[in-house]
Structure 1
Amino acid sequence: MTPAPTLAFPRSQRQLLGSVIDSSTSLLAEQTHDIVRFAMGAPNEDLMPIAALDDAFASQRSGRFDYGDSAGEPRLREQILRLVGETEVATTDDRLLVTTGGMQGLDLAFKLCVDPGDLVIVEAPTYTNGNATALSYGAEVIGAPTDAHGLIVDGLPEIVARAGRTPKAIYTIPNFQNPMGVTLTRERRVRLLELAERWGAMIIEDDPYGLLRFGGEHVASFAEIAPGHPLVFQVRTFSKTIAPGLRVGWIDVDPELRQLAISAKQAMDTCTGVPAQNAVAMFLENGHLAPHIERLKPIYRERKIAMRRELERAFGDRAVATDPDGGFFLWVTFAGALESIDTEALFTDALAEGVAYIPGPAFTTDGSMRNSLRLCFATSSPERIAEGVDRLARAAALAVPGAGLPTVGGSS
């Protein structure tokens, strides 16, 4: 019998890495025991405006299941224009394109701005799906260090000099960064714009969390600093502010680039789901977003404080956590007697103990930051956070016997 021919996949297929974060959803669904879920970056269902969304979906009538405008439903674009004008700086309809979630916005950004072999600078650590999307288009991705004030922008010229060429794109999450929770200062944003202009590099600004500030002072966005700048590709989403399952977001870009993005989107999915667009539009038209976000802010602040408190109780100085002013995440780095912990290896024991997180190497380009991990505080109540941290501490004690961890077993 003649053997079946072997399919030769394109070389680009080798760079399709998938998402450690998204894969965790399937992994958790397979577990039969109780899991405290610090892994996925999403609100719990009790924090989603389910009743208002149900009303919005139920009230739709004619045309709700038709194809829609590839640029987005006009009523939704109108509401996005109003929202952006109220929260940042006014934009125009010829800059907007509604996307199927923030991830499609990132896909369009890298598709339009990056050719195979181009240099892309990302934050280290950064959102794993951002890295994966850049790599899927053949980019050479280099991570740049971050600190408590975000990307260390003044270090970029040295990175570029070592690379021997300038970047085509710089990917940044400026507000309550994923995974660290840190915020890029205004001074660094101004400097990044200067470098982008010098190099002709696109700043891909991914901002899912900007509206979720529960502490500190507002930091001007790139749009507020340089309105309509042609080298800023803004990616936004309603996934973190309303509900992730809606898969509705948008991009705000130079009008010429927007036309290319529409053509690219038409080759992907024709249009973002019309029922979800109309539901979000009605949710915004009815004035639900602002009070909903105001409800979320104190809850997320309470949960962040609870998680930092419980980490201090359970680990003392053996775990160092960031202290964000908004968003969903803490970045935790094991130190002292626990510095040798590999969070990828620890994950199996932690899951067996009943707690899930995302290991640090998932957010890097080189598999480094092995003694760090990301915890989402937004999903869990303070009581569940205490239980989850106890479980994490038990797993750490198994990994490093004799590390001198304080006794765990409940919040003090």
Structure 2
Amino acid sequence: MTFDLATRASELTGSVIDSSTELLAQQRHDIVRFAMGAPSEDLIPMEQLDKLFSHMPTGRYDYGESAGEPALREQILALSEQMGNPTSDDRLVVTNGAMQGLDLAFKLLVNPGDLVIVENPTYPNGYQTARSYEADVVSAPVDSHGLVVDSLREIVARSGKTPKVIYTIPNFQNPTGVTLSRERKTQLLALAEEWGSVIVEDDPYGMLRFDGTDVPSFSSLGGHNPLVFRIQTFSKLIAPGLRVGWIDVDPELQKLAVNAKQAMDTCTNAPNQLVVAKFLQQGHLAPHLDRLLPLYKERKAAMNQALSETFGESIRMTDPEGGFFLWATFMAEREQLDTQELFPAALEEGVAYIPGVAFTADNSQHNALRLCFATSSPDRIREGVSRLERAVLRVQSV
């Protein structure tokens, strides 16, 4: 049967990253997993979470408020204050992970044909969500200091229209791991004011700094500028399967987001919200992060060292100060290596990653790949890089 689909259906291409979960589950041999952006199971506070789930309050299986459980919103307010981003309850909506926050942003802000500027490379679910609302998505370059804000005027001039949304992942960016500098954040806020553009600030990793100095958020720099739509999640901080995130937006947008959410899922999973609220209320988050961050720092260093020792001058890596990922680009004699074509050989050798092209709206970055260091121990990281080398040698010898 041929369906008469909505025009936007052609833009529902799915996520290469999320599809890799199913692909990896089909493998029957040992795989070093550099693909998914998630902590290893031993780094999830399972004992504490299980205990909290076993002591849930009355009403836990009822419908909840669309804006989120009051107990959780109270804890998010306290956490925001602690992190230097004080906010208010009329700005918050609890979401089904950060992805629902992205969907709400583009649903509320974008009309068909509106210009949306994204980073290159960037999180594919971000630009794919924009396209699902029929946005005109255009890429801007990223360097070691994050989004190259100086490139935006030329991009806008070429497009002939000002952006409705500028989508950025400012802290330990997915996939590169770089952080947008304070100077560039200030520049971007000024451009947003000039153009009337909304900055969608996607910040899953900001609390996962293990080196360097924090950079203020757009929200703190802009004094709750209504042109900042901030998205955060507990997926990377506590456990991805909880699917609990939140948005922090202008109160006028908050009301519309609640209306939109009521047409989506009515409310975010109430038991999971209550567990996260108790986890925060009982003071578990700080010691949990104190345990995680030195391990992530060690794993990042192990990955950088293994890649450098194995591939030498033929590879260039970012050196993130936090988060989950680093970005590797093949250079010199290996510059023509296509990491998408390399992937089947790598999987056979027992290592998984995400090819660079998956993170681009313009089908570029073919010689790059994203590697997650958060999931594997240093020994497993070294083994995974060794397997990657075997795959590269196999492909290049053909």
Q: Output aligned runs, 1:327-342, within 5 Å.
A: 327-342=323-338
Q: Structure 1: how far apart are the matches of 2:156 and 2:254?
A: 28
How far 1:89 sits from its partner (Å)? 2.3
1:309 corresponds to which of 305, 310, 313? 305
1:186-209 Cα offsets, whole Å, 9 max, x none, are 000000000001110000000000
Q: Structure 2: how far apart are the matches of 1:53 and 1:396?
A: 41
Residue 193, structure 1, aligned to residue 189, structure 2: yes
Q: Structure 2: how far apart are the matches of 1:36 and 1:366?
A: 29
Residue 278, structure 1, aligned to residue 258, structure 2: no
Residue 81, structure 1, aligned to residue 102, structure 2: no
Partner of 2:257: 261
Note if contact 1:102-1:250 (Cα within 8 Å) is conserved in structure 2.
yes
How far 1:154 sits from its partner (Å)? 1.1
Residue 38, structure 1, aligned to residue 34, structure 2: yes
Q: Structure 2: how far apart are the matches of 1:317 and 1:400?
A: 16
Partner of 1:244: 240
Unaligned runs of 5+ in 1: 403-412
Note if contact 1:122-1:172 (Cα within 8 Å) is conserved in structure 2.
yes
Residue 121, structure 1, aligned to residue 120, structure 2: no
2:288 corresponds to which of 268, 273, 292? 292
How far 1:368 sits from its partner (Å)? 0.7
1:195-247 Cα offsets, whole Å, 9 max, x none, are 00111000000000000000011111111111211000000000000000000
What SS class does the counterpart of residue 397 from structure 2 fall into?
Answer: coil
How far 1:108 sits from its partner (Å)? 0.3
Note if contact 1:88-1:223 (Cα within 8 Å) is conserved in structure 2.
no
1:221 corresponds to which of 190, 211, 217? 217
Partner of 1:406: none
Amino acid at match of 2:130: A
Note if contact 1:89-1:227 (Cα within 8 Å) is conserved in structure 2.
no
2:68 corresponds to which of 72, 80, 83? 72
Q: Structure 2: how far apart are the matches of 1:166 and 1:88?
A: 31
Structure 1 runs of 4+ with >2 Å offset: none
Residue 368, structure 1, aligned to residue 368, structure 2: no
Q: TM-score, normalised by structure 1?
A: 0.96
Amino acid at match of 1:379: T
Amino acid at match of 2:353: Y
1:262-319 Cα offsets, whole Å, 9 max, x none, are 0000000000000000000000000000111111110000000000000011111111
What SS class does the counterpart of residue 102 from structure 1 fall into?
Answer: helix
How far 1:88 sits from its partner (Å)? 2.1
What SS class does the counterpart of residue 161 from structure 1 fall into?
Answer: helix
Q: Structure 1: how far apart are the matches of 2:244 and 2:31?
A: 29
Q: Output aligned runs, 1:4-153, within 5 Å.
A: 6-153=2-149
Q: Structure 1: how far apart are the matches of 2:85 and 2:22?
A: 39
Residue 384, structure 1, aligned to residue 385, structure 2: no
Residue 356, structure 1, aligned to residue 352, structure 2: yes
Q: Structure 2: how far apart are the matches of 1:82 and 1:59?
A: 23
1:302-360 Cα offsets, whole Å, 9 max, x none, are 00000000001111111111000000001000011111110100000000000000000
How far 1:96 sits from its partner (Å)? 0.3
Q: Report the identity percentage.
A: 64
Q: Structure 2: how far apart are the matches of 1:101 and 1:292?
A: 20
1:86-124 Cα offsets, whole Å, 9 max, x none, are 002210000000000000000000100111110000000
2:200 corresponds to which of 181, 200, 204? 204
What SS class does the counterpart of residue 170 from structure 1 fall into?
Answer: strand
Q: Structure 1: how far apart are the matches of 2:210 and 2:140?
A: 27
What SS class does the counterpart of residue 163 from structure 2 fall into?
Answer: coil
Note if contact 1:176-1:326 (Cα within 8 Å) is conserved in structure 2.
yes
Amino acid at match of 2:90: D
| Cα RMSD after superposing both structures | 0.8
Unaligned runs of 5+ in 2: none
2:231 corresponds to which of 230, 235, 240? 235
How far 1:398 sits from its partner (Å)? 1.1
Amino acid at match of 1:281: A
Q: Structure 1: how far apart are the matches of 2:340 and 2:377?
A: 25
Amino acid at match of 1:108: L
What SS class does the counterpart of residue 14 from structure 2 fall into?
Answer: coil
